Structure 1
């Protein structure tokens, strides 16, 4: 069976994300993206007629990739109580442990046009609502959301004020807070 080939749009988005990561979002040029994607500039402009459209697509692509990973993790948990929160924690932890960089294309898009954050804002609102609706304790779901988004924002803005160990401890603390209860395991008294 042949490996799936990337569409022209996917090649362009991948090239744009790589270049934004390498040279910084401000220096992203359509010429460089076209070269990296193996296209003529005209070929790139056929798919994305402006740099703004390319940057907007980068934001939407990032949101779609995150949502796909999240829904796969959620399905693995059979959509039980707290499955949305658990899925968010696991997706973020996997990205963090693999030390995947936050997508620089997001910053490029937002720097170019602040309205490009709107799809992220809408998605995060829907995600937070899903987390709260699916949680035993909506306030704890909110705390998990804020912790994950805070860690992601620190990384995106390159303002890591926490050590790697502190960040892992925070993520693993969330994991424990939302771990499924084992009915066969006796409960421990608080503090024990």
Structure 2
């Protein structure tokens, strides 16, 4: 049996739920639901995830040394995400800048090496959202 693909209705309902959560149900409109680009959504969700405090992942170096293929599924997943964003983002330059900046935030968080203040992080995310359109 084939895996069920997300249909347009499911995507619209998910986007509507996001808008209602972020701005309240009174703000729900077709324009608000359809107005955010996939890249902007990726930036927001990734930045929120990077804000969450996590233990350092220095263990990853040992795992990679023990099994060089350890990162293969992660690389594959990230490539799929990038390709999907590339297919849905008309400006490749904007995508590259935003994607790599978000990956930098992830890496700083992952390796407990964040050098940005809260204000600098907010400025970065708002700048990326401007670039994403």
How high is the TM-score relative to the length of structure 1?
Answer: 0.45
For residues 29-58 of structure 1, what are the alpha-carbon distances to aligned partners after superposition, in whole Å with 9 as ceiling and x for unaligned? xxxxxxxxxxxxxxxxxxxxxxxxxxxxxx
Are 1:122 and 2:65 counterparts? no
CA distance in 2, matches of 1:114, 1:134: 32
Q: Is residue 2:90 matched to residue 1:136?
A: yes
CA change 1:82–1:144 in 2 (3 A) is farther
1:100 aligns with 53
* SS of alignment partner, residue 158 of structure 1: coil
- The alpha carbon displacement at 1:127 in A equals 1.1
Across the aligned residues of Structure 1 and Structure 2, the Cα RMSD in angstroms comes to 3.2
How far apart are residue 90 of structure 1 and its match? 1.4
The change in CA–CA distance for 1:110 and 1:87 in structure 2 (over 3 A counts) is farther
SS in 1 for 2:70: helix
* Unmatched tracts of structure 2, length 5 or more: 1-10, 17-29
* Contact 1:84-1:131 at 8 Å conserved across structures: yes
How many residues are treated as equivalent by the alignment? 106
Cα deviation, 1:78-100, whole Å, max 9, x if unaligned, reads 99697321221111122234x33
Counterpart Cα distance in 1 of 2:55 and 2:37: 24
How far apart, CA to CA, are the structure 2 residues paired with 1:109 and 1:80? 42
Partner of 1:153: 107
TM-score by length of 2: 0.62
Q: Distance in 2 between matches of 1:92 and 1:160?
A: 15
Is the contact between residue 38 and residue 85 of structure 2 (CA under 8 Å) also seen in structure 1?
Answer: yes
Shifted more, 145-154 versus 164-173: the winner is: 164-173
What is the CA deviation profile of residues 49-71 of structure 1, one whole-angstrom value per residue up to 9, with x for unaligned ones?
xxxxxxxxxxxxxxxxxxxxxxx
Q: How big is the shift at 1:156?
A: 1.0
Q: Larger Rg: 1 or 2?
A: 1
Aligned to 1:76: 15
Change (3 A) 1:115 1:141: same
Given that residues 82 and 135 in structure 1 are in contact (C-alpha distance below 8 angstroms), is that contact kept between their aligned partners in structure 2? no
